[in-house]
Amino acid sequence: MPAWQYRDTTVPLGQILLDQNNPRLVRASKGASENDLIRHLFTHTNALKVAQVLSAVGHYPMERTLVVKQGTKHVVMEGNRRIAALKAMRDPEILKGTKHYARIFKMNKDRLRSLFLRGVPVTVAATRQHAQDIIIARHTQNTFQAWSQANRADYLLNEVSDEGDVERLVRLGVSKAEIQEALRTRSIAQMIERVPMDEIKRDELVSQASKKFTTVVRLFDMPEIRAKFQVAKHDEHGFVLHTTKKQAQTALAKLFTEVADGDLSSRNANKVSQAKDYFKSEWSEDEFPSKSTRTLRVDQLGEVSSSAGSADTPKPKKKSPAGKSRGSRVVPKQFKIKQSDSRKLDQIFRELRTINPKSYPNAGAMLLRTFFELSILDYLDRTGRLDEMVAELEAKGSKHVRYGMKHGLPVMSKLKDEIETNVVPRLKARQQRAVRKVLNDDPYRSGNSEELNSFIHCMKELPTDQALISFWDLAEPLFELMLVEPHEESSP
């Protein structure tokens, strides 16, 4: 074995072979020739795009092809599409009979000659194992952080100031349609930046790792949904709006908040029919903006959010879903218990309303968790269902009593099952989704009862004021049903 592990050099293209064990090729490589593999990479992995970039800018100076020596040849370990593109550019006849054949001839002939004159810049690994170590680290450990959709659009459009720039991007393989798509993507990002909405939810939409931004893009790809929000495509601005500023801000803030909360996602808005069904069931017609004769540009929606700027800039106080002000407390000021037979529940509620979760998050978590359980017990007791549950558990035997009851009452897990099965279906669809997030036991999902339990029972889990507020916001429809609305007696 040589003393070195990796060394940089240049190798003539004719001495480089594609790797038949590469994951991109393994299914197509059995009995296939080198030319077959090249055609496969062009057909299935968009090697033409690589060829266009190589033709426009030459070899990437910051990225060499990784190879390992095999006899007198070098086998590609990383960079098979690059080598396939170079071989097809040198001998376009390889692609004869494919849709890519004609396009290879349109490339910069001077650039092609310089590509092959000096050889291919490669990094030679001492052994196949050395090369595999690099490939495993690169492709399985997520060390590469792709730019977000909005970041890509911004960078691309920053390079476009006149028609000459557009032509330069086209030479790099960026189509004019892709430039228009980037304009629309940036326009959506600017809408999110400019409408008045909760800063935490705004960050969820535009953060580097978030996939929720693509849901908004998908919605605005649908002409039927654009029409509902009075949004229209525009060659220069990406999108414009034909409505008033106030109506646009209100409707878009509601839309973006629902996407950030996960109420509107690829699960229920992947198709036009799904999105239309969602808005039909969850939005009233007066919540959509009305059409105006004026044209509103995105930059006229408002000032860019300051969440990414100065830490001294005040942020709007968080409000409950119904728009109620909660001040500095977990419970909104307007929430009042109107249906309860429990004096203890009333006392706990009064104490909970006095606690500032920023100053006393642990006390807030303890009281909120207790209030949640006692609210359920009180509701089930008033409806007569609590006695039935106790009788059902006792009838199943001592094991069910031992593990399903405590102090003569059903444990929290049994109470949650009962609520989810027989109470949650009485809520509206969007409220059901919010409450089910509370009842969900996923320890990695914020704002649920399991997280609340961990604040109380786990020594290292510390509650935050935002976690407590999030729990209340999600659970509020359930609290209103149990403690505010009069109980509807079931028919005998």
Condensed to tens digits (0 to 9), the pLDDT of residues 99-128 reads 888 888 777 565 666 666 678 999 999 988
CB 125 within 8 A of CB 131: yes
Residues 50 and 135 in one domain: yes
Strand order in the sheet with 65-70: 6-11, 120-125, 65-70, 73-78, 16-17
Highest mean pLDDT among 158-162, 239-243, 359-363: 239-243
Centroid of chain to Cα 262: 9
Q: Highest mean pLDDT: which of 21-30, 191-200, 321-330, 418-427?
A: 418-427
Same domain flag for 201 and 73: no
User: Whose CA is closest to 380, among 423, 428, 424?
Assistant: 423
Average pLDDT (309-337) is: 58
The larger pLDDT score, comparing residue 240 to residue 173, is at 240
Contact in structure between 202 and 225 (CB atoms under 8 Å) = no
> Tokens at residue 62, please?
């910051």
Q: Are residues 462 and 373 located together in one domain of the fold?
A: yes
What is the structure's pLDDT at 124? 93
Q: Is residue 389 part of a domain?
A: yes
* Of residues 477 and 466, more confidently modeled: 477
Radius of gyration of the chain (CA): 30
Instruction: Answer whether residue 468 shows pLDDT above 70.
Output: yes
Beta bridge partners of 233: 239
Give percent above pLDDT 90 in the chain: 32
User: Domain boundary at 242, 275, 300, which?
Assistant: 300
Collapse the DSSP code of 264 into the 3-class scheme (helix H, G, I; strand E, B; otherwise coil) and give the result: coil
Amino acid found at 204: E
Same domain, 350 and 475: yes
* Euclidean distance between CA atoms 348 and 353, whole angstroms: 9
Torsion of CA 69, 74, 80, 81, to 10 degrees: 150
- Whether 371 has a pLDDT exceeding 90, the answer reads yes
User: Alpha-carbon distance 298 to 241, whole Å?
Assistant: 7
Cβ burial 249-263 (10 Å sphere, 16+ → b, else e): bbbbbebbbbbbbeb
Considering 281, 300, 319, which residue would you say is the last residue of a domain? 300
pLDDT at 108: 56
pLDDT above 60: residue 451: yes
Q: Are residues 18 and 65 in the same domain?
A: yes
pLDDT attached to residue 116: 66
The pLDDT mean for the chain works out to: 81
pLDDT (tens digit per residue) in 379-394: 999 999 999 999 988 8
Residue 59 domain-assigned?
yes
What is d(CA 97, CA 99) in angstroms, rounded to the nearest whole number? Answer: 7
In a domain, 319, yes or no: no
Of 401 and 166, the one with more pLDDT: 401
Residue 245 CA to residue 237 CA, distance in Å, equals 17
Q: With cut-offs at 50, 70 and 90, classify the pLDDT of residue 9.
A: very high
- For the residues 345-372, what does the mean pLDDT come to? 91
Q: Give yes or no: residues 473 and 365 share one domain.
A: yes
User: What are residue 325's phi and psi, to 5 degrees?
Assistant: -80, 130
User: Do the beta carbons of residue 126 and residue 1 sit within 8 Å?
Assistant: yes
Q: Is residue 254 part of a domain?
A: yes
Give the residue-averaged pLDDT of 241-251.
94
Which residue would you say has higher pLDDT here, 66 or 106?
66
Neighbouring residues of 55: CB distance < 8 A, sequence distance ≥ 6: 89, 107, 108, 111, 112, 171
* 262-316 residue pLDDT tens: 888 888 888 999 999 999 988 999 899 999 988 999 888 887 655 443 333 344 4
Q: Are residues 18 and 92 in the same domain?
A: yes
Q: Hey, what are 13's tokens? A: 């293209």
In this prediction, residue 178 has a pLDDT band, given cuts at 50, 70 and 90, of: confident
pLDDT at 453: 76
Find the mean pLDDT for residues 453-482.
Answer: 83
| All residues at 6 or more sequence positions from 141 whose CB lies less than 8 Å from its CB, including other chains | none
Strand-pairing partners, residue 319, are 325
Enclosing domain of residue 251: 176-300
Residue 296 tokens read as 């509103």
- Least confident residue range of 50-64, 318-332, 457-471: 318-332
- Is residue 406 located within the same domain as residue 467? yes
Beta strands in 79-229 (DSSP E): 120-125
**452 located within any domain:** yes
pLDDT range class, residue 166, cuts 50, 70, 90: low
pLDDT value, residue 305 = 57
Q: How many CB atoms are closer than 10 A to CB 50?
A: 24
Nearest to 79 by CA among 127, 13, 174: 13
Q: CA-CA distances (angstroms) from residue 129 to 22, 132, 136?
A: 14, 5, 10
User: What pLDDT is stored for residue 447 in this prediction?
Assistant: 58
Q: Which of 242, 274, 300 is the last residue of a domain?
A: 300
Specify whether 477 is located in the same domain as 354: yes
**Residue range 211-238, pLDDT digits in tens:** 788 899 999 999 999 999 999 999 888 9
**Residue 181 clears pLDDT 70, i.e. is over it:** yes
Per-residue confidence (pLDDT) for residue 490, from 0 to 100: 43
Is 488 within a domain?
A: no
| Tally of domains in the chain | 3
Q: Is residue 456 part of a domain?
A: yes
pLDDT confidence of 202, banded at 50, 70, 90? confident
Q: Average pLDDT, stretch 147-167?
A: 60
The verdict on 184 and 285 lying in the same domain is: yes
What's the pLDDT score for residue 315?
A: 42
List pLDDT tens digits, range 407-439.
889 988 899 999 999 999 999 888 898 888 888
- Could you tell me if 135 and 220 lie in one domain? no
Which residue type occupies 57?
V
258 with 361, same domain: the answer is no
Answer yes or no: is pLDDT of 441 > 80: no
Give the separation between CA 378 and CA 374, rounded to whole angstroms: 6
**First-last CA distance in the chain:** 87
Are the CB atoms for 55 and 108 separated by under 8 Å?
yes
Indicate whether 390 belongs to any domain.
yes
Residues in the chain: 492
